[in-house]
Chains A and B, each alone.
Chain A
């Protein structure tokens, strides 16, 4: 084999003085790094993904993990990733798969935006003493309201409101399907959103019956594969989301490998056991905006106009024009998934190179819809790369109504972002269907952690709003005055429509 093997990416070592050979590392590593040979625990570092399960479970802190123990000749252009991808493809002739979000070192716009706070002329508001409203209604709003005066002088509303989702926080959990992640992972998040009064997406994997108790907090997704979609599924969701694209892989479909399609997944998705679940790139019935509008209407008709219908697209350069079309399709909300969005599996080349950052997408969509006078009639949900409450506040100030988090919710359950979700070996019991691994995630514990995260971010968001002298989320939405660009170039600031720091 002329190419030989590539160097190790991580090196695991055991402090033999501390190790008591309890074998927890062997039990816990689903990637097979550890094994016992006679008296000794042996290590195969080549298999390590840096998932940290062994470190977390070692009772003696005896395990150490290092990155890049053996380096290539340093080169600014021919990085390790570039060379290893070529070695890999030269061997296999295949597309390189990857999990989680974009792994390239693009500057993060959120980190170049700073929020504002009040001093003197404008009192900051203390959320411990004053009411703070982060409640968010998602869905179509009337462009104006009509009232009529009754004889006794009472004012009566003539306009009929269409159903909206009432979220007690603008932080929701995005779509991660049963199949891509485990039922325990979905259950944990479902309990968390029910507890915190918000919503989560089912992903395109159908709705497992164990999630039925939380259905009032679930948004059911329809992707091109139409897995698990029937009228019962539609009626159970509190809203319906049509997935056109995903931030991690704009322009391509989805692929759940057959080994993840266990009996339960096959029943929920309504596909044969062990078969690959392939979502084509386009929906078989959507090749134009008119087709999309028809599907939006059919879904509304099928559910008696009782449920908001969302449309999710990957953030791409003409997202603003597409969003204007979606707004006019009758859809209630537009979900924009930025190119830092996560995934169970995507071709690496797509994940790392296709799409645009969510910050720019939200700003341009908001501007386009305002230019057409229809911004308030449709909601915008931003997702893809929301890592902390400040990102939430900034996304809203750029024009989003709410955000979806994905990876952050997984991390709250224990995920260490090792990026191997597509292998069905997730040692944390999250991105796997292997029962012994799935059992590792305790929904009682994990749901608490996710709820804690949502609560903590919501509190921080309220504090940020209070500091900015704002006591309701409506007044943060699209409030570019509360943002300043720090070390951002002028052209990007004009897309974001924010001023320079100090200005």
Chain B
């Protein structure tokens, strides 16, 4: 199960979180009260050049110093603070959510084409692998993940999601099966500017994980979805693929279809499948992924999970359910269900 929804405004008009909270709650049938989360792009305009690191601390006495020291080794902490939260009766606060606005020093990562991103990715992997009571679950610029173990309304109210404004929002209502509903296991999963929400299970996780870990990514969240964020980072940032080709790698056409394509397309698709075979994902999934340039939704190749797309003016909606989209935008136009494996990509017009 799980319910997912994403919305983007193609003119980068920011929306507050109240509508998406309403939409996500519409899909409570798809959750079990053990995990919900939101991510918003464009949420920290005042620190837009800094990496916003969201960290779950078990406590701030022992573990915060480790994170502080690590960050100071690699750059400058421009500002840090406890993320404001508001007690909810049904939500047991286990971690202390903290945010850092961090500027890495590119000189400390020589021989890298994207030294700042590489520094931040390294820090995320190091802190999370050490697992000493600190978990970095959000690390992009001008982007923030807000998640916890609870129902969508509770999590939204816990963070007062309506106080934040973003031009892309993704949200997730979790029905956990692989791992208990712990905070780190709630979606969205994020690395740098990539955020992922997912309904389903990735049966190829064993293969995908072994593949991505051979490039230095470490899977630490005990669940299959995080690998999707790393795969996008690897394929798009490291290998320079366009987002639509990255989706092609993760949910490629069947060989029978590739065999009958016109030559140039056939060659391209064959090459993608051969080069990125271990990255392809199998099993039931509907996924929405975003970064600052685009929002993309796609399903597995035989569409074992639902995905609905709607449009209204400048807004693009992708969700598990039409009702959720309508909860956000009753006047939604052009509702459709994309074919299996076919990506729906929303890009900005300005």
Contact = CB atoms under 8 A, between A and B. Distances in A.
Interface in A455-503: 468-472, 474-482
28 contacts: A118-B203, A122-B201, A122-B203, A122-B284, A133-B254, A137-B274, A141-B274, A141-B275, A142-B275, A144-B239, A145-B276, A147-B241, A147-B245, A156-B268, A157-B268, A370-B211, A370-B213, A375-B214, A376-B211, A469-B203, A470-B204, A472-B282, A474-B204, A474-B273, A475-B207, A477-B207, A477-B278, A479-B210
Residues of A in contact with B, size category: 35 or more
Nearest to B249: A145
B83 interface: no
A470 B210 contact: no
Contacts of B242: 147, 155
Nearest to B238: A144
Nearest to A141: B274
Interface stretch (A22-30, A123-131, A216-224, A332-340): A123-131
Contact of A469 (B254, B264, B284): B284
B271 A475 contact: no
Nearest to B283: A469
Contacts of B274: 137, 141-142, 161, 164
Interface in A108-155: 118, 121-123, 125, 130-131, 133, 135, 137, 141-147, 154-155
Contacts of B277: 141, 376, 474, 477
Contacts of B278: 375-376, 474, 477-478
A156 B267 CA distance: 9
Given A118-B203, A477-B207, A144 B256 contact: no
Contacts of A471: 282, 301-302
Given A133-B254, A480-B210, A482-B206, A472 B245 contact: no
B280 interface: yes
B347 interface: no
A355 to B, nearest CB: 25
A476 B280 CA distance: 11
Q: Name the residue among B203, B213, B268, B301 with the largest chain A CB count within 10 angstroms.
A: B203
A107 interface: no
Contacts of A4: none
B69 interface: no
Contact of A121 (B177, B205, B270, B281): B177
A-B interface, 4 closest residue pairs, ranked by CB to CB distance from nearest: A481-B206, A475-B204, A475-B282, A479-B206
Interface string A356-375: 00000000001000111101
Residues of B in contact with A, size category: 35 or more
Contacts, number: 125
A159 B276 CA distance: 13
A427 B211 CA distance: 49
Given A145-B239, A470-B204, 9 more contacts: A137-B274, A144-B239, A146-B240, A155-B242, A157-B271, A373-B214, A474-B278, A478-B211, A479-B205
Interface in A211-261: none
B304 interface: yes
Interface in B182-214: 200-201, 203-207, 209-211, 213-214
Nearest to A369: B214
B18 to A, nearest CB: 32
Contacts of B348: none
A154 B304 contact: no
A357 to B, nearest CB: 21
Contacts of A475: 203-204, 207, 280-283
Interface string B259-272: 00000100110111
B218 to A, nearest CB: 14
A374 to B, nearest CB: 8
B245 to A, nearest CB: 7
B255 interface: yes
A141 to B, nearest CB: 5
Contacts of B254: 131, 133
